[in-house]
Structure formats: structure tokens, C-alpha cells
Amino acid sequence: MALTAARPAAETAMAPADGLGPAGAGESGPLLQVRDLVTEFKTRDGWLTAVNHVSYELHRGRVLGILGESGSGKSAMLRTILGLQPKSTRISGEVILRGRDLIAMTPREREDVRGSWVSMVFQDPMTALDPVFTVEQQLVETIRRHSTLSKAAAAERALELLEMVQIPSPERRLKAYPFELSGGMRQRVVIAMALVSNPSLLLADEPTTALDVTVQARVLELFRDLKTKMGMGIIFVTHDLAVAADIADDIAVMYAGRIVEYGRLEDIVRNPQHPYTKGLLEANIRPGQTERPEAIPGAPPNLAKLPPGCAFAPRCSKVEATCWESLPTLDSIGLSHGVRCFVATREIQNAMPVAAKGA
């Protein structure tokens, strides 16, 4: 079956109506539609906008990588989708999953959706697992919360899940406590827990950060396996471009709560347009590289005091007067590529043939 892609979808000039790729056979539309999502937290400095009018779509069988520095709004966006924000949080926009708006659901309805329609793999498996209960106890409890299985049948299902995530000696691991497992084993248990009800959407919040390179490679292979075998949509948050390149089909680069560039993986890696995306690529160590990578100067802005113009302007080498005064829109610069930058958009338009400009 041909697989469709993920793409941002709310601003007028962002992307063609046909999306990033061909529609899959039997697809009735996107699995997930995030429309103009805003998430605000109350702080001493005022309301902090962690997710700032973000829009995109995700189709089944695709992995959308969300890339950006710490504090760019990646994790806040995932928690908003899952409904794990504090009660004082202000949220607006729509999160349409399987035709229903999660934001408009009651707390009870959100509880039923979590773990069944959508699940999340958290960054730190030690805090995601309860240290005083065995792996079996925690899996069985989760399984029975989302099914009518007996305790014995749930235990059998728990064993199947550990086998699915390729944990060696699964019968023995079921009886173990989290502290008796390695970091990679614990992360696989967390992934198994997220797969209890065969969710349509899997959210992964930097799930490989605490793992060494060898274990990280095995966990990423597991995610690719799950995408292929189960056909689920996956949103994979990371600050590591190498990880994103290994797992994602499409990339959305976030900065200061906004998407500043989006496209297929090859668009972002081979033809980055936003100065921030280019900075992230330059800061990444390449195989065989001997010179020191070039860091992006400065630091991310205070999300409670965002400037009227481009939030990246203070750190940008191509900044112009307009950048300080006006917020650029997320403009389409190709069939599957978009960027939020006055300079990049103008340079691309100037490089276009005259006939193409008039089209």
C-alpha cells in the first residue's frame, strides 16, 4: 500500500492541497490533523506560549520527526495531544484523531483515548515505570484498564508484548523489577506498555536520549519495525538530527513554539532553507569529521516575552530590518517543502525562472 505523508496544513500559502506524497490505497484521509494549536502556561513573567499556532497532518504508516533545541515546544506539543497538561494551561485549536477532536473531549473521554487510540513513549524509562511493581504487574494493570481480559489472559498478552519488542528471556523479565533491567530493556518495556491496545498514533518523546549508541540503534530499528507491521502513525521528537534521519519520513523543525521549516527528510537534510535548520545541521557531527562543529550563537528566547518579529532574529546571520518588525508566514517553496523566513523565501523566488513565477 502506498503511504501518504505528514505535512503542516493551516496557513494559506504553506503547501499544495495534495500533500507531500501520493494518497495510499484505501486511505480516507489523515490519521491526525493538528490545526492552529496553541498551548500557554501561566508563569511569573505572564503567559508563556510553548506551542504557537502549530498545524500539520500525519498519515498512517508515516513517521514525523519533530526537530529542535530544548525549549522549542516539542514535548509540550506531545503532552497537549495526549491531554497531560496542568489544569491551568490555556489550550486552543484542534487535534483531530480518527475524526474526533481530542481538545473538545471531556477528561473522562481523554482517559479512554489515552492508551487505546494514542500512546506515548516517554524520554526517561525509569520515571515512566513504577520501581515497586514488577514488569508483569504494570503491564497487566495497563492491559486490563483497556480491555475485558481476565488476569491470566492479560498475563499472556504481557508476554506477547515483551516478545513483540524483542526482549530476550521474556518470561524471566516479566518477574523482574525495573531496577533489575538495563536502560535499553526498560525502554522496550515502556514501548510494550504503549502498544497494549494497538494504538493508531504513537508519540515518542526523545526515547533514545539516555541510551548508548548501540542500544539506540536497536530501539530505532524496533520503531521502524512497528511502523511497518502495525501501520501506525508515529511522531518522534528529538534534538538529534542523526536520530531523525534514521527514523523519520518527514521533518518539522520547531523554534520558539513555531514550525519554521517542514519537508520530507531529504528536503531538510539536502536542501535546508531556514538559517536555524542550517545551524542545526552545522552543529551536527558528521562521520569522519575532524574539525569542531559550529554552534548556533546565542540562546533560545523567553517564550513569555517573544519579539513581534522573527524569534530567531537575534541569533541569525542573515537578519534584516523586516525580521525584527514582522513575523514571517510559513510559505510553500516546493511541492513538499515550506519555510518561515523572509530571506529564504525571497532568495528562492529570485532564483526561480520567470515563467515559473508567473504560473
Tell me the per-residue pLDDT of 136-176, one tens digit each, with 9 for 90 and over: 999 999 999 888 899 999 999 999 999 988 899 999 999 99
- 24, 90: one domain: yes
- 21, 44: one domain: yes
Is residue 258 in a domain?
A: yes
Is residue 27 packed enough to be buried (19+ CB in 10 Å), middle (13-18) or exposed (0-12)? middle
Q: How confident is the model at residue 38 (pLDDT cuts 50, 70, 90)?
A: very high
* Strands 32-43 and 118-121, sheet pairing: unpaired
Smallest Cα–Cα separation from 85: which of 44, 127, 120? 120
pLDDT at 318 over 90: yes
pLDDT for 350 equals 86
Number of domains present in the structure of the chain: 2
Among 51-65, 91-105, 115-129, 130-144, where is mean pLDDT lowest? 115-129
Strands (E), the chain: 32-43, 46-58, 63-67, 90-97, 100-101, 118-121, 201-205, 233-238, 250-255, 258-264, 331-334, 337-339
Return mean pLDDT, the chain. 86
Contacts of 163-166 spanning 24+ positions with Cβ under 8 A: 164/192, 164/195, 165/189, 165/191, 165/192, 165/195, 165/222, 166/218, 166/222
Instruction: Please check whether residue 14 is in contact with residue 335, taking contact to mean a CB–CB distance below 8 angstroms.
Output: no
Report the CATH number at residue 254.
3.40.50.300
Centroid of chain to Cα 256: 15
Place of cell 505572564: 46
- 212, 320: one domain: yes
Percent pLDDT > 90 in the chain is 59
Centroid of chain to Cα 113: 19
- 182, 98: one domain: no
pLDDT for 145 equals 87
- 50, 10: one domain: yes
User: Measured between alpha carbons, how far is 234 from 231 in angstroms, rounded to an integer?
Assistant: 9
- 174, 211: one domain: no
Instruction: Please check whether residue 49 is in contact with residue 257, taking contact to mean a CB–CB distance below 8 angstroms.
Output: yes
pLDDT per residue over 206-242, tens digit each?
A: 988 777 888 888 888 888 888 888 889 999 999 888 8
User: Measured between alpha carbons, how far is 59 from 182 in angstroms, rounded to an integer?
Assistant: 33
- 85, 206: one domain: yes
The three cell numbers of residue 159 are 508476554
Is residue 224 in a domain?
A: no
- 103, 138: one domain: no
Counts for the chain of helices (H) and strands (E), in that order: 14, 12
- 204, 326: one domain: yes
User: Measured between alpha carbons, how far is 24 from 4 in angstroms, rounded to an integer?
Assistant: 6
pLDDT at 342 over 90: yes
Is residue 165 in a domain?
A: yes
- 208, 254: one domain: yes
Q: How many C-beta atoms surround the C-beta of residue 241 within 10 A?
A: 21
In angstroms, how far is the first alpha carbon of the chain from the final one? 33
Is residue 173 in a domain?
A: yes
- 188, 110: one domain: no
- 234, 190: one domain: no
Q: How many C-beta atoms surround the C-beta of residue 125 within 10 A?
A: 24
User: Measured between alpha carbons, how far is 141 from 154 in angstroms, rounded to an integer?
Assistant: 8
CA distances for 252 relative to 55, 214, 259, 336, angstroms: 10, 26, 6, 11
Is residue 223 in a domain?
A: no
pLDDT per residue over 264-287, tens digit each?
A: 999 999 999 999 999 998 887 776
pLDDT for 354 equals 54
Centroid of chain to Cα 153: 33
Is residue 145 in a domain?
A: yes
pLDDT for 2 equals 32
CA distances for 312 relative to 101, 168, 244, 307, angstroms: 32, 46, 22, 9
pLDDT per residue over 69-82, tens digit each?
A: 999 999 999 999 99
72 three-state secondary structure = coil
Is residue 324 in a domain?
A: yes
* Strands 32-43 and 46-58, sheet pairing: antiparallel
Is residue 44 in a domain?
A: yes
Domain span at residue 152 reads 126-198
Kind and range of the H or E element at 276?
A: helix 275-282
